[in-house]
Amino acid sequence: MALNGLDINTLDDVEVACLVYALYKRTQQRKEKKKIVTNRRWWVHPLNLKRPQEGQFKVTFSVLRQYPEEFFKYFRMSIPSFDNLLTTVGEHVRKQNTVFRLSIPPEERLAATLSNDCFSEVSSVSAELYTCSGSYTGECIKFLQFQAESLGLPSKIYYMAPKKPVVIITLQGCKPELQSLLLTSHMDVVPVYPEKWTYDPFSAYKDAQGNIYARGAQDMKCVGIQYLETIRRYKNNNLIFDRTIHVSFMPDEEIGGILGMAYFVKTDEFRSLNIGFTLDEGLATIDDVIPLYYGERTIWQFYIRSTGISGHASLLHDNTAAEKLIFVVNKILDWRTEEKLKLSQGMDIGEITSVNMTMLDGGCQLNIVPQELSAGFDVRLDIGTDRRAMEDIITGWCHEAGDGIRMEVFKTNEQTTPTKLDDSNPWWLKFKSECDKMKIKLKPSICPAAGDSRYIRLIGIPALGFSPMMYTPVLLHDHDEYLNENTFLNGINIYYNIIKGLATA
């Protein structure tokens, strides 16, 4: 995305988030600076007293609004775009006026952010996100098309939305009526803190031990390229299989896949691929036992919102928001303690429910009993816990706490049925028999996080998450993510047998 000439109408949620982030960072930096300057001569500098009437913003902004072209040059957006953006982010950056001091209005905050050095910060955050999740440059697509051409295979690009391409490379089978095999990977990566890396995270630096450092080295550019290199070997060996193999490169997995796999599985294009089974990513393992993910937990995020009697904090009111909120919070944290106990008893994190209080909100001043307080939770339900039943329990706790307290679900995923690892699933039997032949040790597990496979399983297609990365520390989303070249190359040998087995009817 070119931020020069930025048009609010084309901003997506990520871009708006970048702007809000830049405004937030600016506020934080100001707070930091203020901490350093302790000996104030003025509470409000005399110059600033004139700001509302004579300040640079007041003068420049009102004049610029009379000259739309100049306005565009100055802010890199049109007047309607600016107004539109202000509507979107204004309330997020509004500060309270006090009797001592008027706060800087959102309009001025936004103008300052767009017109000065903070804008470069927006650009850098955006640049990070755009090489990561968000939108996909032509370079990435060109690279994949080049790979397809070098393999002599057709490639197709489907757009789930503007800037959200799905790339499919296909090796046609000789019995196209059979269900096909999908090898999926995602194109996006999560952002980096470059200063925390030993080597440039986007340089794929290989050290003397053969460790290749790169964001995405484990998650999961390795797997996508291993799929392609496996197919290259089949081509070199003139192998043709019964089943068609599709290799997909998906957008947005790291930000939930809403405009990626979640959308793609609902399209006619996806249905036309006639997929019977999917291989997706897994995790590295420090020993020689590779986790095999056959299901995932269900994300469930909600708030507990409590309202009560407000008033002077010198009194002891009945029915306060805090008392009721704490009652329910404690019940939920007791649930957390039970789950933690299972962890200490040796169960895997994927097998149990994680419960975390991640937000607390409310109150306006220390001497006022607040009218409303809320707590936010992120829960990942294990495959055996029914969300609706749990929702009833929490709603019951809210009733127990009293009137004016309720649960508000922010986000939930549909619970998926795990892929069967038994004789009823011929794909699993093939997968397992190839692994057995290579003496690969597998640990069937429920994935603690949720990836693209969940959307595949939701429509009833079996999917397994597997990344052949043995003797490798788990470094996905971490600093200094790396993969050893021998592990990478050995992975191609492993895929060679597994994919051949799966593609042979």
Which residues of this chain interact with Zn ion, rule CB under 5 A?
219-220
Residue with the two structure tokens 């017109």 = 115
- Does residue 220 have a cis peptide bond before it, meaning omega lies within 30 degrees of 0? yes
The smaller minimum CB distance to Zn ion, of residues 406 and 477, is found at: 477
The smaller minimum CB distance to Zn ion, of residues 302 and 466, is found at: 466
Round the CA-based radius of gyration of the chain to a whole number and report it.
27
The smaller minimum CB distance to Zn ion, of residues 173 and 216, is found at: 216
Please tell me what DSSP assigns to residue 420.
P
Using DSSP's 3-state secondary structure scheme, residue 373 falls into strand
Q: What token pair was written down for 326?
A: 């704490």
The smaller minimum CB distance to Zn ion, of residues 219 and 296, is found at: 219
CB of 232 vs Zn ion, minimal distance in Å: 23
Residue with the two structure tokens 């080597």 = 199
Integer Cα distance of 76 and 245 in angstroms: 46
CB of 253 vs Zn ion, minimal distance in Å: 6
Q: Where are the beta strands (DSSP E) in 48-136?
A: none
The smaller minimum CB distance to Zn ion, of residues 219 and 339, is found at: 219
CA distances from 385 to 232, 380, 419 (A): 44, 10, 17
Q: 411: Cβ–Cβ under 8 A, 6 or more apart, which residues? A: 299, 300, 301
The smaller minimum CB distance to Zn ion, of residues 107 and 480, is found at: 480
Integer Cα distance of 172 and 243 in angstroms: 7
Backbone angles phi, psi at 184, to 5 degrees: -110, 150
CB of 188 vs Zn ion, minimal distance in Å: 8
Q: What token pair was written down for 414?
A: 């549909």
Residue with the two structure tokens 């405009």 = 259
Catalytic residue numbers, as ranges: 188, 253
CB of 186 vs Zn ion, minimal distance in Å: 6
Question: What residue number has its CB nearest to Zn ion?
Answer: 219
Using DSSP's 3-state secondary structure scheme, residue 185 falls into strand
Please tell me what DSSP assigns to residue 325.
H
Within a 10 A sphere around the Cβ of 72, how many other Cβ atoms?
A: 16
The smaller minimum CB distance to Zn ion, of residues 156 and 477, is found at: 477
CB of 287 vs Zn ion, minimal distance in Å: 21
Integer Cα distance of 404 and 398 in angstroms: 9
Beta-carbon-side half-sphere exposure of residue 255 (alpha carbons within 13 Å): 20
CB of 436 vs Zn ion, minimal distance in Å: 27
Integer Cα distance of 146 and 293 in angstroms: 31
Which candidate, 480, 185, 482, 465, places its Cα nearest to that of 350? 465
